[in-house]
Amino acid sequence: MREFHEIVDEIRKLPIKEKVRLIEVIARDLELKLDTRRSARESLWGALKHFGPGPSEEDIAAVRREIWKRFPREDI
């Protein structure tokens, strides 16, 4: 595989129209890759929906109160 600087040197030799075409191709490729990552990340929002709704704020507060009423512990 060619070194990065060798590729850059070859690109510098291209006429301006070819450089523009190259930039367009690379930009399109990057957009596709970024869109793929973005859509994969967005699809995680529904990944846990089969578990049903999450606990309510009241449920979370009740569990916190239950846990914290045992602290501080004197037996440690």
* Tens digits of residue pLDDT in 6-34: 999 999 999 999 999 999 999 999 998 88
Query: Are 30 and 41 spatial neighbours (Cβ–Cβ below 8 Å)?
Result: no
Phi, psi of 41 (to 5 degrees): -70, -40
Q: Rounded to whole angstroms, what are the CA distances from 64 to 59, 67, 70?
A: 9, 5, 10
Q: Given phi > 0 = left and psi -120 to 50 = alpha, else beta, which region is 52?
A: left
pLDDT recorded at residue 56: 94
For 27-76, what is each residue's pLDDT tens digit? 999 998 887 766 555 566 777 888 888 899 999 999 999 999 878 777 76
What is the amino acid identity at position 70? R
